[in-house]
A and B are shown apart, each in its own frame.
Chain A
């Protein structure tokens, strides 16, 4: 037999041979022949023949493959001629008659050989045999099998012929086919036709196909043998999956045959290749192509000569030349036609849809109901029909009428559902939606919370260890007794273990001892009541204990007795039945006791008991006796009464004769007394002697007799059990039964079986050991765990009993949980006919059947349920709190806790109390746990604190202790900075280490803190002022705190810059702008870009001052022009001379009339100690037009808005006169040298607070210069002639003016958002909501219409509450002193009042309450604080005016330089006057120099009017508030004044004038100023001219009286007369007093001290004039004197 290795070897050899010689074909064959020894002789022979005849390469290939096949299959061949058949096709094979096949094959053989013979015109010839064959097959009606065989043979012949042809004629094409084979899989048939379509026979073949198809169809219609079909199917399935359809439709076989032929060829080719490969491949091939093998082999076996002449390979086999592949369009179409099917859209004739010869039947015509078909388009229907017809059994889809079967259209015309909504009605009540409350599923709670995410976190371990029957139906009598014995013994053991008797005896003894001790202690002496009571209690206890002990003893004894009895019975039974069933054996050990001792003890015991009993009975007797006596007493008294009554009756009887009445009465009396009480019987005296007898009897009943040995039973299972063989039949049967019986236990969790134990057979001792642990991973709450005991006898099992296991509490864990024994019993009635006693069946031990017993099956199940412990020792138990039942079961063990309730468990006190009350026996082991608990509790180890702490762990998280935090300088610094303490707010780079921070850092801060408390009188001079300052500071702090939130409250505009939505107007304007010229002729000032004051640093901000021009500057006054100066001609001369000289140098002298000295003014600006000055101009109306740039640095380098607003620095603008003095030391040098000294004389000043500039962003205008009332050496008188008209206008106003433009570069965004923020942060208010709403609307409307006009309706008072503005206006009387000063002149008085108000120091709110807002204080607050800004001044002034009977209003507007401010408007007879409250100045309505620029609204006590006129400048507007066209009132008819009460006091209380204090202050200021001036002149000696000072001091009161006016001339004259020898320049300064610092500042700013002439002298006089309420007017007269001689 050729193995695969053989084959391979053979192939190798063959190839070798081939390589050696292609020519020696014959040798080759010969060489091959011996190898093929196992092949049939015939094949060998044919092979040789073939070789000789052909010797072609293809032939060789074919031969080789066939040979290989043959060798493989040889074994399987049933007979030589038939093909080998794969095992699975045996059935098919069996149906083929071998004989037929043989015949056929022989025929074919002959044909083939003939074909071989005539090789020429092969192609034409290869067809003709087929019809013959076909006919043959059809005629003979042979099986499919045969037909297939024919086909194959034909195909083979074709193939072989073709191959030969190819080989001989055109080897390249052969090779091509080979290559094709490689490309295509065996099943790719599509490609194959291409190879052959080129053949001219194609058309003929097609024709033939049709014929063959017809033939086959006919044949199938008639015969259609199933075997054939199956075989055919087999072919189609295995061979060509793709052309299945065609075949099922009964298409051509010829085609397939031809294909098979090709297949064969392919196969051969392939095998040629494959053979060179492993045998494995061959085997695979075998598996795959068994069917083909068969085909191939069929001819092989028979047509040997044909098959075997192709043996050897030629060289051409190794070369491949291939044509490029092209598939023509037509061919492709054709091919596609073969595969694809396009259903026609044409209607299918009815005949094809119906079985033949059946006429379509129309049920409708027959009168049957036919529903309407769903609408389908005809074309679709046709397509569908065509498609269906192509299918197998397609006709079944058609009905009798030849149409596709279809259900009637299911869609109904109308809705079948009742309409829900009727037009008018409500919803049908039956259809109304009804709300039902959600029901909670009862299973919801059973799920353990959180089990979803931690699956299987909870696990119950059920340990079923075993089962012991205490009774079982299969028990024999002996077993019953044995079980009873064991039970009793168990009982005995447990009692022994508890040892109650002993315990109770000990207790009894203890109690007795206690009583004895107590009695001894008190030995007869007066026993206290408490002790007595306790003794009684103890006695009671003794009695109780004794009874208990007695009963226990009795039980012990009976138990012992019964054990012995049962054992005896058992022994008797064993003897009786003659065999032993149970291994029980009872030993009784005797423990000998000392008789004497025992006796003594017993006797003592008895005696003690007797004594006690005696005592008790005596006591009892006593009690009874007392009771008896009491009752007796009662009875006796009754008797006495009775007797008395009877006596009475007797008397009565004697008195009256009427017997009947007597009787009646007697009866009555008897009734009154009630029934006669039973006479109590005296209790019997207790029988003492009998007592002892009783005790003794009892003792001998329940106790061991003295001397009797102590019996200790001991049960063992050591007795041998009689083997089965020796048992009688009944017992044997029982044992058999018992052996058959087996048990198992089901575990039910929540009534669901979760697992069951293995079935275990019953042991002879009726114990079953399971020892199985079930781990239950639970999801549901445990509700019940049940164990069902099943007993199974020979595959029939029955439920014996069910045991419920308590669910363990969560603390019961596997490993520590003890095993529990659960008793169970069953009431099944079981009877046996053998020795088994059965269950629920009476039986008897005795032979006579007496003493019958009935026992039920019962036993103990030993199991343990506990919670499992996880891998990491985590108990897999659910939290216990969720299950109340668990809790309960846990506490059950301690009844003490049950007694006081579960809550008491936490309350140690209650527990202790309970223990004390119930007098818990500390020795009782049951109480041990409680006692321990109590001892721990009382030991104080578990002291529960009385307080509760919320964050008990906070301390652990503190990284530092608070003290350390306090001590650390660094942390302190950091904290202060974060608290935004002013000093540290902008502290940069706090050092990293402590040591780098010096203590000095905090010095300032600490000093400031201290200052807050200490009033520095030195600084403030006036104690009251200091207090005020302190108060202000406090208010400020509180207000700052209040507004801190507002500060951190952001609105969108703070963060996001967003363009406003342009209105139409703006858009139009923008459009208009487009048309604007690029470079207009008159350019307008463009708005500068505003800079947020954030990323600024020192030096970034500059103050720009544009000093344009001045008006009306006082001019020097020549002395000569005055007659008074005549006496001093010499001096005047000099003066004149100097003046002339100076005028000459200035080249201006000629402009001025006769000897008029000129003035050379310049402006000096001081800001933050930076001093800049303009150039010097000339004349009283100079024009400088100069820009001064002053640097600005914010305090602490903080450029935040709030800080900038708090800057208190002021810009001082001073006008000086530059005076040149010629200093001529030597007259001779006069001609050649000019030696002059420049002196500057202060003429006046303007001061503008920086905050104003900051808030206004620019100040532009002409300002009045504050000039001193007296300027020595200067006058304002002007020549009439010069510049006529201009002067005339100016002369209307008095004073000097300066035109300025001030701004900050870059422009800073002022903190104007504060007001908006204020609106967000609603203040507390007492106003009604409606009013506030109206205010809001009013203000909003106002700001919309006139955005530049300020409108105020509500203001914030000093408490931070919103107050309506009119509440501040109320007539208030000014100080009486002021009114009295000018009783007749109202004008004067008014001015004085204004002056008084202006003397109250000015303190802008925005400075004191930096970054916050305007706070309005009431007048009394204002006067107390003596500080306020414009509003306060204005309110006060307005109120004064009102009280003086004037018509006055508060003006809310803007002024220069203050900005938004408040003025006062009064109506005089025919004109309006505008008062500036902070200066006391008043202006007429048409005054050009009125600083008030716009008027926003007017306020008086009743109403607020908003200015809705075109112009807001006072000059151009009407003040008639009654005209609604000009003024919009707040309260109108639609919203009347609700009658708001004023916040102002009824009356102002003024403090008296304190002249002494004023004088003191005066001295102090003078002293301070003197020192300061000397300080400012460090390099020069400062001399004081006392005389002059004294003179000046005299002037000052006069100045005060005159209000600073009209004094100059007289004054000067006086001075000059006094100080003729000096050139004097000086002036008085007038200030309100608040602090000393501003005074110093003002003096400094005049620059008087700057005179550096060596012989200069100074004069300083201070005068303080007190006004009521501590308002002080301070005058400082300062002058410098230069001795002229």
Chain B
């Protein structure tokens, strides 16, 4: 692996899904998965995960804290299709049905270092008011066929969404051999200071 001519570069991601801010909902849990291009392959770590259910704190910030760890390493030959993390949040509605509370995706930061990302979350809207009512009544809200849809642009034009809240993620990125393969992700001045 210490050869001077590496054939792949590695991106190590660890971090956590820290917390969420959903002003109206409580008792939420989240799922995450990664979406990446053809040239990417996870070498170790979990590609998908589901968190515990968390309730709102009593403090004024009303945050939902998961502190759900992420730890995955990707290898790739091509930065195209840079991995994105897709987070979907679920929780019970008024009737106790488990419904989706938000989808969101963000690219894993490109530069090494510590990054904090806040993803705005959204859910697909019902097609009509009647639908909305029945879905509310029956606890079967519209969902994406695949949460990974939110990481791609194709076909999004047919959907309507409503924004829901925010999820804060924290990433620590370590890359290897990127520069050797000619991909310079650090800015010319210096690595962005930790936030």
Contacts and interface: CB of A to CB of B under 8 A. Distances in A.
Interface of A: 974, 977, 986-993, 996, 1048, 1050-1052, 1054-1059, 1061-1062, 1092, 1094
B158 A990 contact: no
A1055 B78 contact: no
B46 interface: no
B76 interface: yes
B131 A1058 contact: yes
B56 to A, nearest CB: 28
Given A1054-B155, A1061-B134, A990 B38 contact: yes
B74 to A, nearest CB: 11
A1648 to B, nearest CB: 45
Contacts of B127: 1052, 1058
B149 A992 contact: no
B185 interface: no
A1050 B146 contact: no
Interface stretch (B2-10, B18-26, B113-121): B2-10
Contact of B38 (A986, A1052, A1057, A1094): A986
A977, A988, A1092, most chain B CB atoms within 10 A: A988
A986 B39 CA distance: 10
A993 B154 CA distance: 30
A1055 B158 CA distance: 8
B77 A991 contact: yes
B144 A990 contact: no
Contact of A1055 (B9, B134, B135, B159): B159
B126 interface: yes
B38 to A, nearest CB: 5
29 contacts: A987-B38, A989-B8, A990-B38, A990-B78, A993-B7, A993-B181, A1048-B154, A1050-B157, A1052-B158, A1054-B145, A1054-B158, A1055-B144, A1055-B145, A1055-B149, A1055-B159, A1056-B124, A1056-B143, A1056-B145, A1057-B142, A1057-B145, A1058-B124, A1058-B126, A1058-B131, A1059-B138, A1059-B142, A1061-B128, A1061-B130, A1061-B131, A1092-B145
A1196 B135 CA distance: 40
B53 interface: no
Interface in B93-150: 124, 126-128, 130-131, 134-135, 138, 140, 142-146, 149
Given A989-B39, A989-B77, A991-B77, A1059 B144 contact: no
A992 B181 contact: yes
A415 B126 CA distance: 53
A1051 B41 contact: no
B145 A1058 contact: no
B156 to A, nearest CB: 7
A992 B7 contact: yes
A1372 to B, nearest CB: 44
Nearest to B133: A1061
A1058 B135 contact: yes
Given A988-B39, A992-B181, A1061-B130, A1055 B156 contact: yes
Q: How large is the interface on B (under 10, 10 to 19, 20 to 34, 35 or more residues)?
A: 35 or more
A1092 B77 CA distance: 29
Closest 3 CB pairs of A and B: A1050-B155, A992-B77, A1058-B142
A1058 B155 CA distance: 16
A687 to B, nearest CB: 94
B77 A990 contact: yes
Contacts of B126: 1058
B180 to A, nearest CB: 9
Interface in B8-34: 8-9
A991 B39 CA distance: 8
Given A988-B41, A1055-B145, A1056-B142, 9 more contacts: A989-B39, A989-B75, A992-B9, A1050-B155, A1054-B155, A1057-B142, A1058-B127, A1059-B138, A1062-B134
A993 B181 CA distance: 8
A1119 B97 CA distance: 73
A988 B144 contact: no
Q: Which of A974, A1052, A1092, A1094 has the most CB of B within 10 A?
A: A1052
Interface of B is mostly: loop
Contacts of A1055: 124, 144-145, 149, 155-156, 158-159
Contacts of A989: 8, 38-41, 75-77
A1061 B133 CA distance: 9
B135 A1059 contact: yes
A1098 B6 CA distance: 29
A1051 B138 CA distance: 24
Given A986-B38, A992-B8, A996-B7, A1057 B143 contact: yes
Nearest to A996: B7
Most buried by A among B38, B78, B154, B181: B38
A1052 B77 CA distance: 35
Contacts of B7: 991-993, 996
B78 A1050 contact: no
Contacts of A974: 78, 80
Nearest to B76: A989
B55 to A, nearest CB: 27
Contacts of A996: 7
B38 A1092 contact: no
A993 B159 CA distance: 40
With most chain A CB atoms within 10 A of its CB, the pick from B128, B144, B155, B157 is B155
Interface string B58-72: 000000000000000
B179 to A, nearest CB: 12
B5 to A, nearest CB: 7
B75 to A, nearest CB: 8
Contacts of B138: 1059, 1062
Contacts of A1061: 128, 130-131, 134
Contacts of A988: 38-39, 41
A977 B76 CA distance: 16
Contacts of B38: 977, 986-990
Contacts of B135: 1058-1059
B37 to A, nearest CB: 9
Contacts of A993: 5, 7, 181
A993 B124 CA distance: 42
B80 to A, nearest CB: 8
Nearest to A992: B77
A977 B146 CA distance: 23
Contact of B134 (A987, A992, A1059, A1092): A1059
A1092 B145 CA distance: 9
B145 A1051 contact: no
A1092 B148 CA distance: 13
A1626 B162 CA distance: 70
A1529 to B, nearest CB: 35
Given A996-B7, A1056-B142, A1059-B134, A1050 B39 contact: no
A990 B154 CA distance: 23
A991 B128 CA distance: 48
B151 to A, nearest CB: 12
A1061 B135 CA distance: 8
Nearest to A984: B38
Given A974-B78, A993-B5, A1057 B154 contact: no
A989 B159 CA distance: 32
Interface string B150-180: 0000111111000000000000000000000
Contacts of B149: 1055
A992 B140 contact: no
Nearest to B79: A992
Contact of A1050 (B6, B9, B41, B158): B158
A545 B71 CA distance: 97
A1052 B127 CA distance: 9
Contacts of B155: 1048, 1050, 1054-1055
A993 B177 CA distance: 13
B140 A990 contact: no
B134 A1051 contact: no
Given A1058-B131, A1059-B140, A1094 B146 contact: yes
